[in-house]
Structure 1
Amino acid sequence: MSAARRTCAAAVLLAAASGLAASAGTPAPAAAQATAAAAFAPPDAQRLDYRLQPRRIAENTWVIEGEVADFSRANGCNIINTAFIATGDGVLVINTGPSRLYGEQQRRAIARVTGEPVRQVLNLNLHPDYFLGNQAWADTPVAALPGSIAGMQREAAAYEDNLYRVCGDWMRGTQAAPAREPLQPGTLELGRHRFTLQRLHGHTGDDLVVLDERTGVLFAGGLVFAERVPSTPHADPAAWLASLDTLAQWHAQQRFALVVPSHGPVHAGLAGVAQTRDWLQWLGRLMADSAGRGIDLSELLRAPVPARFARWGAQPAELQRSLVQWYPGHERRALERAQR
């Protein structure tokens, strides 16, 4: 995509947008804060209807937004953004949601928008809401990075148990179906679209990022969170920050104009990258400083968060999970330093 065309595309996207609050330490430029209004609708629990509403965000490109929240029965465990692109020679689907029901309803939602056949499904990482809808796509090639497939296979039973416990009837009939095709990074050409498939890591061991070179839309997966606390069960903070630097370099090169995170509002520019970086750096400093001062985990779990994070989705649950996961390591390292 040429710089001139990408600039034009960004202007069109921004013309339809409304502001994403810049909650990183330094306010982002207005263009980097812009986002289109989200279209999440609360699901109908009685009918087990997710009420999926595809929203066009760019040329032949639609997103189906999940709630910016934690898993719950009230939202049907639908907290993920899935997407699809009608390329002129078939549809590319990105992520399949948290359940068999979601995948089936996703298929019907796509068919209401386009008559093109679905050619390819991609799961961007190993987390359950990225692939537990794969059952509905058994007749379609479903691909992921090799490390993601291994993780899906390793953790499938635990994912099923956890989401059945949290989401109840929404998980009816769901059996984990990991992606079947190992994906190698590179280029995918489909119809009028050329996609860059890039392997990064940090949120998980294998994070697939998809860049549509035609429209300048970046599908950033779990590397970018917007207005939501990042989840960290498979995270490597240093690698994650390095991957965010890579995405910032891509933006400086005008390779993308719009970001579709897997969790949080679709937005233009680097607002989500900045928010995710700010959170990871703040959390690392908090744990290191607290361990050095001898603060125990129970006290840390009760500590308030800075105002810029306080209203984010999945707060305080995701913070508490990260502290329980990571803080003992910080305490151990602080004790080792004190004993030297």
Structure 2
Amino acid sequence: MFEAVVTLCLVLGSSDCREVLSPDYEATDKAGCEAALMDRQPPEPGAFCRESPPGLGFEDVGAGIFLHRGEIAEPDAGNLGDVSNIAFVIGAQSVAVIDSGSAAWMGEAIWRAIRARTDLPVSHVILTHMHPDHVFGASVFAGAGAQVVAHAGLERALADRRENYMESLRTLIGAVPLIGTEAAKVDIAVESTREIDLGGRVLSLRAWPTAHTGNDLTAFDPTSGILFAGDLVFAEHTPALDGSLLGWLSALEELKTLPAKRVVPGHGGPLLDWPQGADPLEAYLNTLARDTRAAIAEGQRMGDAVTTIATSQAPHWQLFDAFNRRNATVAFSELEWE
């Protein structure tokens, strides 16, 4: 397979460059790709054709659903931000992508993985929440005509944090892998519920009150019985609390009543039985709440309390030291006003 790319550099004349995918010019040979470039009006400036590299690795779990498991790690120069789960769902008429990774290079690699399996258009890219490891590959699909779908609160929340997120990613994974990366505009803002028809296959979307974040969105596929929970469900990776502890516990209770058979968490898995897949997360969040309330009742100061809250959960989770104190800080700030 051949594809069209454009070379972009950090600074004009610099050697710090990356070949950025221009989607929708794919062909089985170079001549076909070049003919597609010539036919497009206006022409794609600076684009040229090359052989496509491999796409991102996806597991076929049946029923037209493909899952990518991100590393259980923080973003770094080795993984280039590939640290969250990603999915795509193939309907009779189009494809929906669920979450898009930390950078444009990931959106491009997802695109290649889809094109290796179907030539149907990608009609939607669904973002489950604002965190950078889930959103910054979306512009690749938007540029190819897909509609970006998210919680009604995501666009504003991401705009407020975009520069900080991008600066952090530059430090963690490097500036060159981020070339071409930008936040995509949200086309469909979900206030409550919404359905997306991929052709004989309808995904049911739901926006949640503040829980993991203030803009969590889930997608349910009745055809397969799979719930795409984003970071409302964690497995193996220590949960990250960036919203409301009590809201998250409440959302989990309601999620468990949905008629799903399996769940794709935002991290870990990538496919768990449901609702049993929520048990470790629920145990962690309940421990976080119990220990925080006990520390507050004892009159402990936050700085002291966060060093001990929920530490009994450490053996059950990876990256515990990187996330638990932050979670305890958020929980303490919320529960001290109960």
From the CA coordinates, give the structure whose radius of gyration is larger: 2
- Structure 1 residue 145 and structure 2 residue 151: aligned? yes
* Cα RMSD, aligned residues only: 2.3
Aligned to 2:133: 129
Q: Which amino acid aligns with 1:150?
A: R
The verdict on how the C-alpha distance between 1:283 and 1:298 changes in structure 2, with shifts beyond 3 A counting, is: same
Shift of 1:67: 0.9
Aligned to 1:175: 182
TM-score normalised by structure 2 residue count: 0.76
Aligned to 1:55: 59
- Structure 1 residue 277 and structure 2 residue 282: aligned? yes
Moved more, 65-74 or 220-229: 65-74
Q: Which aligned pairs between 1:87-236 and structure 2 lie closer than 5 A?
A: 87-137=91-141, 138-139=143-144, 140-168=146-174, 169-184=176-191, 185-201=193-209, 202-233=211-242, 235-236=243-244
Q: Which amino acid aligns with 1:134?
A: A
Distance in 2 between the 1:239 and 1:96 partners? Answer: 25
TM-score normalised by structure 1 residue count: 0.75
Aligned to 2:79: 75
Structure 2: gaps (5+ residues): 1-52
The verdict on how the C-alpha distance between 1:50 and 1:282 changes in structure 2, with shifts beyond 3 A counting, is: farther
Q: Which aligned pairs between 1:183-332 and structure 2 lie closer than 5 A?
A: 183-184=190-191, 185-201=193-209, 202-233=211-242, 235-250=243-258, 255-265=259-269, 266-303=271-308, 308-327=313-332
Aligned to 2:31: none
Shift of 1:231: 0.8
Contact between 1:123 and 1:179, CA under 8 Å: does it hold in 2?
A: no
**Greater RCO (Cα-Cα under 8 Å, separation 6 or more):** 1
Report SS of the residue matched to 2:202. strand
Shift of 1:215: 0.8
Shift of 1:70: 2.7
Q: Which amino acid aligns with 2:315?
A: A
Could you say which structure has the higher helix fraction? 1
Report SS of the residue matched to 1:142. strand
Report SS of the residue matched to 1:113. coil
Shift of 1:246: 0.9
Report SS of the residue matched to 1:310. helix
Question: Quick one: percent identity of the two aligned structures?
Answer: 26
Distance in 2 between the 1:326 and 1:108 partners? Answer: 41
Contact between 2:83 and 2:267, CA under 8 Å: does it hold in 1?
A: yes
Contact between 1:134 and 1:178, CA under 8 Å: does it hold in 2?
A: no
Structure 1: gaps (5+ residues): 1-48, 335-340
Aligned to 2:13: none
Q: Deviations over 1:93-135 (max 9, x none)?
A: 1111100111111111111122222111111111112211122
